[in-house]
Amino acid sequence: VGLDKILTTLYAPQAWFMALPPYLSYTVIGLIIMTLLGCAGFILARLGYKPLWALLLLVPTVNVIAVWVLAYRKFPRELS
């Protein structure tokens, strides 16, 4: 069993992405992150929070905690 076989088994679903040139893969990742932050910022603004809180989604453990805190807090729009 060679290293190529192990890597192919582990990363088979992402094989198309690894075959892209680096500038194209970075562009795809950037678009995904921008879409995530844009949608999260829009939702947060509609709920009455500052959209900059969407940046917490980029930190791996903090993003789960932030979603939990958001789910169980009273929304600012309900308080006013």
- Provide the pLDDT confidence category of residue 80 given band limits of 50, 70 and 90: low
Domain ranges of the chain: 3-79
Q: In the predicted model, is pLDDT for residue 17 greater than 90?
A: no
- pLDDT at res. 18: 74
In whole angstroms, what separates CA 44 from the centre of its chain? 15
In this prediction, residues 44-51 reach a mean pLDDT of: 90
Tell the burial category of 54 from Cβ atoms under 10 Å away from its Cβ (0-12, 13-18, 19+): buried
pLDDT in tens, 67-78: 999 889 887 766
- pLDDT at res. 1: 60
Q: In the predicted model, is pLDDT for residue 58 greater than 90?
A: yes
